[in-house]
Amino acid sequence: MEARSVDAIPRGEQWQYEPKWDGFRCLLRREGNRVDLRSKSGENLGRYFPELAAAALRIKARSFLLDGEIVVPHGRAFSFDDLLQRIHPAASRVKRLAQETPALFLVFDLLASPTDKELSARPLSQRRARLEEFAQAQLTADSSFRLSPATTSYAAAQKWLARSGGGFDGVIAKRLDLPYQAGNREGMQKIKKFRSADCVVGGFRYATNRIGGRKVVGSLLLGLYDDDGLLHHVGFTSAIKQQEKPALTDRLERLIAGPGFTGNAPGGPSRWSTERSTQWCPLKPKLVIEVCYDHFSGDRFRHGTSILRWRPDKAPRQCTFEQLKQKTADPMKLLRA
């Protein structure tokens, strides 16, 4: 069951609202002494989260299927960066990280139980009631499992969306009257809170395609200053209109000068790096642009950003990490609600 992105929280008696957790979606199935954890793409997650597989075997019920999210707590929040570190090919590292950064399984649906193997065919209103009964009887004794909160209050969903961050990045709305919609997006919608930030353009990369035989900009590399005055690379935007690229390239090329970023710079080694992705042109820190983003963690924008506007009125030194600090809900408190 997957979600369709929408711009606003839907209203009506047919909707149930839940926090949209920032983790790995997972179906957890137990049949006797066998436990299987599967990602949305069908990948076996059990090898990366052995502590969850072991916890599932400690549950008294010997047959069930749960839909939920895997997260890794870090202080009062959930860390997607720590979660990514758990996907590692070395068994010894997985074992060590399972002890150092143990994961939680946040349960939000029950698709099969010991007494009803076809629970997924029932409407969500019935499944949620059965899930709460199952959680009370089976999951309270193990801290590896938490029941994800749900509400039918539109006002409560609005508050969750307004305070999203720290491990949940929006609201999920589900149709109470529908059975589990495997393989489609008809019964679930997701609403994310987008934010903006003023960033310094510390460099750029050329596009792979030329316009009129000349090289043009493909993406802008974004930077923010820390308290020590160092400019750190925090992400990129490639949402540049095709017709604007030649003039923007002229503007950028006049500013080419090192070092560009004086703190963390782009092109460092990573499993995703390619020769092309490490090639970039540093710029004098003169240009400021406001971008729209959905998530910021590990001192980086998680995804590519969208351009809102250029900010000639903004001094580059005003573009600091401080602007990204916000009051967010404590996700652990939501789980105790």
Active site amino acids: 20
What is the Rg, in whole angstroms, of the alpha carbon atoms belonging to the chain? Answer: 23
**72 neighbors 82 (Cβ within 8 angstroms):** yes
Question: What's the Cα-to-Cα distance from 23 to each of 95, 104, 150, 264, 303, rounded to whole Å?
Answer: 20, 10, 18, 25, 14
**138 neighbors 167 (Cβ within 8 angstroms):** no
Dist. CA 161–CA 167, nearest whole Å: 12
Going by their DSSP bridges, the two strands 300-301 and 281-282 should be labelled as: unpaired
- The H or E element that residue 83 is part of is helix 80-85
**222 neighbors 323 (Cβ within 8 angstroms):** no
- What is the per-residue DSSP string for 200-236? EEEEEEE-SS-BTTB--EEEEEEEEE-TTS-EEEEEE
Dist. CA 264–CA 207, nearest whole Å: 23
**161 neighbors 191 (Cβ within 8 angstroms):** yes
